[in-house]
């Protein structure tokens, strides 16, 4: 079976989230406690860093922490951390995502942060990795070994860890995260719809992925997965940001995917959808069915209405399935992207 690793691992993502919720809960509570201690000492700003898929997890955590907590964080690629340190005060912390805990960019960034006495928190899937050894605190996700180059279940676990940390900071129960995992399982049970849409994407030269709110990092991740697994030129944008230039490139042959965590996100993207309709672009919404839009789009890959930030979990699962099936429809093996490696160490 072509792509058996990617396929089996994207299906394992639901269990990876469940294990992370059970086995990393104490680490999330401890990490939240350390952040609260920093806040008590006047340190309430920080960076969230990562590379590739892990950077998209960083953007998701940025969205969560800035909206729900007293902290203000900025997500930047790990490779750019050295260029973004503020002048003057060094009173900030660094949270870093890395599946392997060995990527050169994030290890260098953490060592630089340590040289400035900045506190660090690592979120990684690999216990005993370099990142766990040099960080001040860790949340180790429980996705298990990931063999496919295209990260799926580890991204699911990173999203869960982001939610766990944020909820621990504000004293919110984990029930919403469990609901999000159940919604992701529901997406898997209806994967025939993703297979059909993935085959349509395989025929396109270019695909645009749009997102609103917590759907924005998922749109970026969907575009990355389409590039990695299916060799499709895909780009991700915030839905209304797409109106500021990139819409110039669409026509009736350009599929556009809207990743919407809620009906409100669909309505918030209304102007973009209206403009896309003017130019005949086929638009497919990934998210809960929203009254008033069924006849305005070309198709709908429905996800359960979670009603919280954990809606990112079913959206991510849909994105992974689309990339997998687009790859298979093109006759590719998504387990063997010829120019990529699992860990970037150079």
pTM: 0.95
The whole-number average pLDDT for the span 6-31 is 97
| pLDDT score of 296 | 81
CA 90 to chain centre: 29
| pLDDT score of 264 | 92
Are 125 and 222 found together in one domain?
no
Are 282 and 185 found together in one domain?
yes
| pLDDT score of 293 | 80
In which element (H, E) is residue 286 found? Answer: strand 283-287
What domain count does the chain have?
A: 2
The whole-number average pLDDT for the span 61-75 is 97
| Residue among 166, 138, 191 nearest 322 (CA) | 191
Q: How far is CA 224 from CA 191, 218, 235, in A?
A: 20, 10, 8
Are 248 and 305 found together in one domain?
yes
Domain of residue 193, CATH code: 3.40.50.10490
Distance from C-alpha of 111 to C-alpha of 107, rounded to nearest angstrom: 6
Are 244 and 268 found together in one domain?
yes
| pLDDT score of 89 | 57
Are 68 and 140 found together in one domain?
yes
Are 162 and 285 found together in one domain?
no
- Average pLDDT, rounded, for the chain: 93
The whole-number average pLDDT for the span 240-263 is 93
Are 301 and 158 found together in one domain?
no
Q: In the chain, what percentage of residues exceed pLDDT 70?
A: 95
Domain hosting residue 281, numbered range: 180-329
| Residue among 328, 330, 329, 341 nearest 3 (CA) | 328
Q: Render pLDDT for 24-39 as a digit per residue (tens, 0 to 9).
A: 999 999 999 999 999 9
Q: Render pLDDT for 97-131 as a digit per residue (tens, 0 to 9).
A: 999 999 999 999 999 999 989 999 999 999 999 99
Lowest-pLDDT range of 60-64, 84-88, 321-325, 326-330: 84-88
- Give the DSSP letter string of 111-126: HHHHHTT--EEEEES-
Are 143 and 215 found together in one domain?
no
| pLDDT score of 90 | 64
Are 195 and 156 found together in one domain?
no
| pLDDT score of 284 | 96
Q: Taking phi first (over 0 means left), then psi (-120 to 50 degrees means alpha), and beta for anything else, what does residue 282 get?
A: beta
SS3 per residue for 26-81: HHHHHHHHHHHHHHHCCCCEEEEEECCHHHHHHHHHHHHHHHHCCCEEEEEEHHHH
Q: Is residue 335 part of a domain?
A: no
Are 104 and 225 found together in one domain?
no
């Amino acid at each position: 079976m072509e792509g058996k690793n990617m396929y089996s691992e994207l299906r394992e993502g639901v269990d990876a989230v469940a294990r992370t919720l059970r086995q990393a809960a104490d680490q999330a509570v401890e990490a939240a406690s350390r952040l609260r201690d920093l806040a008590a000492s006047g340190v309430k700003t920080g960076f969230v860093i990562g590379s590739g898929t892990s950077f998209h997890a960083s953007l998701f955590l940025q969205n969560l922490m800035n909206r729900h907590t007293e902290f203000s964080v900025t997500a930047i690629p790990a490779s750019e951390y050295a260029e973004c340190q503020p002048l003057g005060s060094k009173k900030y912390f660094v949270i870093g995502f890395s599946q392997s805990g060995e990527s050169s960019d994030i290890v260098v960034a953490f060592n630089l942060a340590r040289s400035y006495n900045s506190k660090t928190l690592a979120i990684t899937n690999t216990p005993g990795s370099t990142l766990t050894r040099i960080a001040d605190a860790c949340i180790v996700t429980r996705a298990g070994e990931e063999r496919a180059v295209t990260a799926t279940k580890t991204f699911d676990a990173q999203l869960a860890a982001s939610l766990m940390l944020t909820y621990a900071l504000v004293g919110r129960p984990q029930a919403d995260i469990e609901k999000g995992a159940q919604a992701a399982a529901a997406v898997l049970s209806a994967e025939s719809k993703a297979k059909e849409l993935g085959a349509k994407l395989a025929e396109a030269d270019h695909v645009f992925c749009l997102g609103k709110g917590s759907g924005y990092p998922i749109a970026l991740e969907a575009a990355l997965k389409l590039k990695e697994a299916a060799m499709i030129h895909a780009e991700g944008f915030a839905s209304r940001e797409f109106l500021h230039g990139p819409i110039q490139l669409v026509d009736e042959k350009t599929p556009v995917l809207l990743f919407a965590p809620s009906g409100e996100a669909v309505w918030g993207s209304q102007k973009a959808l209206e403009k896309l309709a003017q130019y005949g672009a086929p638009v497919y919404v990934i998210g809960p069915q929203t009254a008033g839009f069924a006849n305005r789009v070309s198709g709908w890959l429905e996800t359960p209405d979670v009603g919280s930030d954990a809606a990112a979990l079913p959206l991510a699962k849909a994105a992974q399935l689309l990339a997998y099936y687009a790859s298979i429809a093109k006759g590719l093996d998504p387990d063997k992207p010829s120019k990529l490696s699992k860990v970037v160490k150079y």
